[in-house]
Amino acid sequence: MVTAGISLISLAITAKSAKPAVLTLSDDNSVVAFDPNYSINAANNGLILWTVDDVNQLFQNQFWYRIGSQDKESPINNLNLIHLEQSQIGDKQISATYAGRGFEIVFDLTLDGDSEGSGRSNLFENIAIKNISSDKLDFHLFNYTDFDLNNNGTQDTTKIGSNKAEQFDGFTWATEVVEPKATHYQVSPVSTIFDALEDNASTTLNNLPSLLSSGDNAYAFQWDFTLDPEKSFLIKNYKSLKSVPEPTIIPALVALSSLMLLCYLRRWWLFRNKSKLEYSDRTIEVDY
């Protein structure tokens, strides 16, 4: 009988000085590393690794918040970590609760990997922000994600809208669906959004549904909402990764495409040389 599965590790932490190590979640072909504590190096906070079949796909996934429209943003693990729960070391679920002035944030994380070698994995993030003060709160929550697909972000393309982000390269496709829709969103070269969330000014994401390729990108969603006393605001983010199918799966289509391309190139070459001959005395060059 395996009894370890029944044991419950529940940590009640009241001071920032109590620092459990980086926690891991694992399920089937996937592993996630999560640092719930505050680190001086902001790039080491939050989710800092997501491997699928032993290949890392994520540089960082982290949350920032702001109260009101004037202040700077702060990472949520700058707050007091008052509760941290994982049923056993390496389990696929973690719950972390942070307390701020007049509010609490409960962050639930669940990893659902797929079969070995499938290239598929899912990550569910539930965030509940509760107003425990007697005043309304003008709350702003940011979720920042820097996927580096196939352990290298420089060839990744990213696009984003108010409830969905997609990132892909030749091997891997990442999708994120958020609920409710974000108020603002942004995709930018990697340090732009991170620097805006870490600087001393109030930040609003730019809502440009950019499509960037051949660069290391990061994206973020921003939710703006007013929270009445004793009320909670819930956000559900669903991130998933899958392998891009090999083109050899459809060899007939590839062969047909190649044949059509050869025919097209031959016609183009004949036309181009004919044009050059006809206009050779006028030195017209046509760019195709």
What residue type is 79 in one-letter code? Answer: L
Burial of 233 (0-12, 13-18, 19+ CB in 10 A): buried
Q: Is 28 in the site for Ca ion (CB under 5 A)?
A: yes
Smallest gap from Cβ 265 to Ca ion, in A, equals 30
Contact 174, 146 (CB under 8 A): no
CA distance 267 to 250: 26
Contact 97, 189 (CB under 8 A): no
CA distance 61 to 78: 15
Binding mask 127-146 for Ca ion (x = CB under 5 A): -------------------x
Q: Is 35 in the site for Ca ion (CB under 5 A)?
A: no
Binding mask 159-178 for Ca ion (x = CB under 5 A): ----------x---------
Distance of CA 127 to the CA centre of its chain: 15
Beta bridge partners of 238: 124, 177
CA distance 64 to 232: 17
| Span interacting with Ca ion, options 37-45, 189-197, 223-231, 278-286, rule CB under 5 A | 189-197
| Span interacting with Ca ion, options 44-52, 109-117, 255-263, 277-285, rule CB under 5 A | 109-117
Among 35, 53, 148, 176, binds Ca ion (CB under 5 A): 148
Q: Which of 202, 186, 230 is nearest to 140 (CA)?
A: 202
Q: Is 53 in the site for Ca ion (CB under 5 A)?
A: no
Smallest gap from Cβ 40 to Ca ion, in A, equals 18
Q: Is 150 in the site for Ca ion (CB under 5 A)?
A: yes
Nearer to Ca ion, 85 or 112 (CB): 112
Among 27, 91, 104, 125, binds Ca ion (CB under 5 A): 27
Please give the residue ranges that form the binding site for Ca ion (CB under 5 A): 27-28, 73, 112-113, 146, 148-150, 152-153, 155-156, 169, 196, 199, 201, 203, 216
